[in-house]
Amino acid sequence: MSLEELLLEKKPIIVKKWFHLILETYPADASQFLKKQKNQFANPVGHTISHGIKDLFEELLKGMNPDKISPLLDTIIRIRAVQDFSPSKAVAFIFLLKKVVREELKREIKEHQLSDELVKFDSMIDDLALLAFDIYMQCREKIYELKTNELKNMTFGLLKRANLIYEIQEEESDFKSSNIINLK
């Protein structure tokens, strides 16, 4: 039996354990809420993560097409980029999959001598983490850009209200009526 077959067979268990490990990266009260609340409208974060990692796992098993995986990662990373996570902690959830796979398939990996296949799978997870970091950085750059623009707009508005900035009215010059001679 191959590693891919084992991963497919145990997919529901692996994804469920991975989801619970991800939720443990949140503070205790948030983690409890995310675990208990199943309604997607009451718990959009939990819902997005749950469905996102399920789809990510399926794409990993299909060979990790970056065009398909990037949007899946993006939905999860966008959430973690606006939360109070350091960059390393924001993308660390990817590596939790390695832990789950090893715990869940420990016996089968030894029994079927699948260590070479596991190394390849680990490499795909590492590539996924690098892609996640790139997406995280793009999200953070956008956040900083939005904050900078908002600060500029607020400052301009405050200065304008305090009459410390005056808008310069552009006056239209009518060169035809002026005393300038047109030399051709």
| Predicted local distance difference test score (pLDDT) of residue 184 | 47
Let me know if residue 156 belongs to a domain: no
User: Helix 115-161 to helix 93-111 angle, to the nearest 10 degrees?
Assistant: 170
> How much is the pTM?
0.78
The yes-or-no verdict on residue 174 having pLDDT over 80 is no
DSSP classification of residue 37: -
Q: Give the number of other CB atoms < 10 A from CB of residue 129.
A: 18
The yes-or-no verdict on residue 169 having pLDDT over 70 is no
Averaged pLDDT, 150-176:
72
Let me know if residue 30 belongs to a domain: yes
Let me know if residue 166 belongs to a domain: no
Q: Total structural domains in the chain?
A: 1
Q: 123: pLDDT confidence band, cut at 50, 70 and 90?
A: very high
Let me know if residue 149 belongs to a domain: no
Q: List pLDDT tens digits, range 58-91.
A: 999 998 898 999 999 999 999 999 998 999 999 9
Residue whose structure tokens are 């707009």: 153
Structural domain span for residue 69: 3-136
Let me know if residue 117 belongs to a domain: yes
CA dist list (Å): 107 to 1, 36, 81, 97, 182: 13, 31, 36, 17, 93
